[in-house]
Amino acid sequence: MHTDVHETISDWMDKPIEELAGKRAIAITVGGTTIDGELEYRIEKTEDGLRVESLNFVNLPQYVVVCLNGGGNHLADTLFKSLNILA
């Protein structure tokens, strides 16, 4: 039997957010639901100049990780209580 082993990216908060796109992630919502899927990178620019970069699970609109104006990656802790990004 062959099992794939993946290492956790423990320093995901310090990596450029776009480098995490396409990675597998496992998140647990504040309600206790586990979501396992691929992360998708998105970027939006507002009229007032704010640059919002985010990582979302494919086909889910809510972001899991957000980065405002390049200020570091932050877990969307109003929706998620934990996140494991795999290498």
Q: What is the DSSP annotation of the chain?
A: -------B-TTTTTS-GGGGTT-EEEEEETTS-EEEEEEEEEEEE-TTS-EEEEEEETT--SEEEEEETTS--EE-TTTEEEEEEB-
- Stated length of the chain: 87
Cβ-contact 76, 53 below 8 angstroms: no
- Residue 6: what pLDDT? 73
Ordered mean pLDDT values, 10 residues apiece, the chain (87 residues): 72 96 97 97 93 95 94 96 96
Taking residue 69's Cβ as centre, other Cβ atoms within 10 Å add up to: 10
What is the value of pTM for the model shown?
Answer: 0.86
Q: How far apart are CA 69 and CA 54, in angstroms?
A: 11
